[in-house]
Structure 1
């Protein structure tokens, strides 16, 4: 069970797999990470998602984390602003909150 093709999470996984001439053939694709988490909790299969999305499920032992030896998947996210954009206090708060989540 994977995110849909074109999502950042799926693109990262597909890139890692392609390095070893592999391809994912999911039985279910979803645009909703939460739906994939709930499906995995219900025992419908496995999913590959960022660990920070799974913290609650892992904490409550609804899911188990499986480390993949030698595989490091990471999505870098950037906030891009126009060079002349004034960073207002509300915008600074939003950017700080995003940085704290990631």
Structure 2
């Protein structure tokens, strides 16, 4: 049984990885797959939405005769990531409290 990944959790993971370094789509997908069970076809629509919402911006770099599109977090994206991280910490605190009281 796999736990379904919420869009906000995936969004937070994408923003967190890109906050640490600019990444192109395939490299980002591989990093996300180390922590979440998602497909490449799931990641790209989220990248487009995050770019449209001004949380990410893009730039192209040549690589072996082609361009790679890199994603970079914006200041707005950093603020969004901070909100998601705060919400996650609050959630984890509640879950931990429930688990402690359940023993």
TM-score by length of 2: 0.28
Larger radius of gyration: 1
By percentage of residues, which structure has more strand?
2
TM-score by length of 1: 0.28
